Chains A and B, each alone.
Chain A
Amino acid sequence: MSERKTILQVKDLQTTFFTDSGEIPAVDHIDFHVKEGEILGIVGESGCGKSVTSLSIMGLIPQPPGKIVGGEIVFQENDLLKMTERQMRQIRGNDIAMIFQEPMTSLNPLFTIGNQMLEAILIHEKGWSKKKAKERAIEMLQLVGLPRAEEMLQDYPHQLSGGMRQRVMIAMALVCDPKVLIADEPTTALDVTIQAQILKLMRELNTRLNTAVLLITHDLGVVAETCERVIVMYAGQIIEESPAKQIFDDPQHPYTKGLIQSIPDMRFKKDRLYSIPGSVPKPGSIKQGCRFAARCEFAFDRCIKEDPELYETSDAHQTRCFLYDKEGAEMDDNKTLIESR
């Protein structure tokens, strides 16, 4: 699966919010790419910049106060950030579609499912008749596993359950055959059984339609089940990138380790679940050094003085931690320390 074309590339993206209490760099120089048909996970705690990243790609950052201050977002060889609003509208929903965290509020309560589905189709398929669009809507609703699709077109969102609404959202997002689907916490608001169904559905659709998926979540469990590759974000930066399997077998950044340790495991009964001490710093509050240093049990002098880069540790695995800086002097001692745990 290695030689698939890159479809979306984010280069050195910086999105800053200009608020009364100062500039907040919510997304701070991040680089990543999504390949055709791939499922890439972005993981991180709330406030780490995951959602801002996805909204930046869609060009939907509320402006003001937000602004993309630097970088490139290359989609099929075009920089989205250089596009006009009119050009972006052609991309949104058509080439890059998005589903959101809150299925309860993401559909307009005052319009029928049919109205909203048809809208999504007819915005981009100008020549289509209403009948054709309706057939397409029904087809998509059936594809996402909604059995009485035709009647459902007459329903209002409040008549559906959360899981059904999220299925409708997915159907609506995929209705124009997008190349990339951005799913921002698509299962967070759903209960566990429905969560599993929705994830399964997304995996199926990914294989069937070959839509690349950018799955944003705070839940490593979701990543394990769904993604091929994963990016871990912390305080607006990417701190680790690796194939999904590797991140569980060999987590490198102390933050990632902490995240994995804090997943409850039924096999080992522990008295208390591990949690990373402290909380996520406000973006922009740490001006110098590693953002995680204050919460990191392996932090040493250099961590506070210098900004770590992403160090390549193995094929396709990168970590933003001095412990993996092969040129760094202290590495060996600490590496042993970290491995001895």
Chain B
Amino acid sequence: MLSYIGKRLLQLIPVLLGMTFIVFMIIRAIPGNPAQIILGQQATKEAVEALTVKLGLDNPWYIQYFNYLGGILKGDLGESMKTRLPVADEIWPYLAATFELALFAIIIAVIVGINAGIISAWFQNSWFDYTAMILALIGVSMPIFWLGLMGQWMFALELDWLPVTGRDEVRTPVNSITNLYVLDTIMQGRFDQLGVVFKHLILPGLALATIPMAIIARMTRSSMLEVMRSDYIRTARAKGQKMFWVVYKHALKNAIIPVLTIIGLQMGMLLGGAILTETIFAWPGVGRYIYDAIGARDYPVIQSGILIVAFFFVMINLLVDLLYSLIDPRIKYD
């Protein structure tokens, strides 16, 4: 097991290396000089050139790339051209904000999606099955920004149940320690604020959860339908076991592996930050952080931001692979 994890972590190196290279080349293919953008349209040619040299952008691309790589190997993600702050420090609050929202969304998606899928398979061709699957189809094809806007209009403006945007109340901001506000408020014992934080999570969380929820529900259903036809399901029923346990014990454990794969991929995607959702709900997440950096041609931020996101994506999928072996004793990683 440990040697497998070691091997997988070694495999991470070429993956991330390849990724840095691709991102590096792509962002340099975008027209626009960072120095010009930082200084503005009115800047003199000399000033722009001076800044270009200062930022090291006058070097050939391979020198720039190896400088960047060398930095990463030393654990230095570079510093933002715009703010002159280290990317590693700057990105953390954004990453935490995205992580909190993504986790909230994926928990909703998993709880609702898996149960909807199970019940749909259990009562195949019932009204529940049809309704759930039509909703799931609508869910996957729903434009999230539209859903988010409708949610804001309905629950924030009309009903005034939930806040429109942000992570906390402007007048009583959360005293942040980890930037994970749920954790922060619990650690400080501020349960009144915890409620506020949750209220802020609901709308963007639901908007973000919609597509994963729908995909998970459909995947669970089809996986369950296949498993429910198995001989061991018949054995479990022949023992006199209640249908509930036949479904939730015997069938679910067998059906969950492909669903886990999907959950891992979806969680990875959510961690990359959802630019639309984050924009609509003014959520200070990593998607918007990188998006803004692209607008500013802030090369180090873009490069390192994407590198970190990719790192988490790969790690989550490694975690999912390890989970397989916990669930299925036939899967051995040695």
Contacts and interface: CB of A to CB of B under 8 A. Distances in A.
Interface of A: 58, 60, 85, 89-94, 97-98, 100, 102, 105-111, 119-120, 123-124, 156, 158, 169, 172-173
Contact of A110 (B240, B242, B243, B329): B329
A36 B241 CA distance: 25
A111 B328 CA distance: 9
A303 to B, nearest CB: 38
Given A108-B254, A110-B253, A100 B240 contact: no
Given A109-B330, A110-B329, A172 B232 contact: no
Contacts of A120: 239
Given A109-B232, A109-B330, A156-B329, A60 B238 contact: yes
Contact of A89 (B240, B250, B253): B240
Interface in B237-265: 237-243, 250, 253-254
Contact of B330 (A94, A100, A107, A156): A156
A60 B239 contact: no
B241 A107 contact: no
Contact of A158 (B234, B250, B253, B330): B330
A108 B234 contact: no
B231 A110 contact: no
Given A108-B254, A109-B330, A92 B237 contact: yes
Contacts of A100: 231, 234-235, 238
A90 B240 CA distance: 6
Contacts of A58: 238
A103 to B, nearest CB: 9
Nearest to B237: A60
Interface residues of B, number: 20
B172 interface: no
B327 interface: yes
B236 interface: yes
B235 A109 contact: no
A119 B235 CA distance: 11
Say whether chain B's binding surface is mostly helix, strand, loop, or mixed.
helix
Given A108-B254, A109-B328, A158-B330, A60 B235 contact: no
Interface of B: 230-232, 234-243, 250, 253-254, 327-330
Contacts of B236: 108, 119
B240 A105 contact: no
21 contacts: A60-B234, A89-B241, A93-B240, A98-B238, A100-B231, A100-B235, A102-B231, A105-B231, A107-B232, A109-B232, A109-B254, A109-B330, A110-B328, A111-B253, A119-B239, A123-B240, A156-B329, A158-B330, A169-B235, A172-B239, A173-B238
A120 B232 CA distance: 13
A106 B231 CA distance: 5
Nearest to B230: A105
A117 B328 CA distance: 19
A91 B238 CA distance: 9
A52 to B, nearest CB: 13
Nearest to B124: A64
A100 B236 CA distance: 12
A110 B238 contact: no
B254 A91 contact: no
A92 B238 contact: yes
Contact of B240 (A91, A108, A109, A111): A91
A105 B236 CA distance: 12
In this complex, the member of B234, B250, B253, B330 whose beta carbon has the largest number of chain A beta carbons within 10 angstroms is: B234
Given A85-B243, A105-B232, 11 more contacts: A93-B240, A105-B231, A106-B231, A106-B232, A107-B235, A109-B232, A110-B327, A119-B239, A124-B240, A158-B330, A169-B235
Contacts of B328: 109-110
Contacts of A105: 230-232
Contacts of B230: 105
Contacts of A85: 243
In this complex, the member of A90, A120, A124, A156 whose beta carbon has the largest number of chain B beta carbons within 10 angstroms is: A120
A262 to B, nearest CB: 29
Contact of B235 (A90, A106, A110, A156): A106
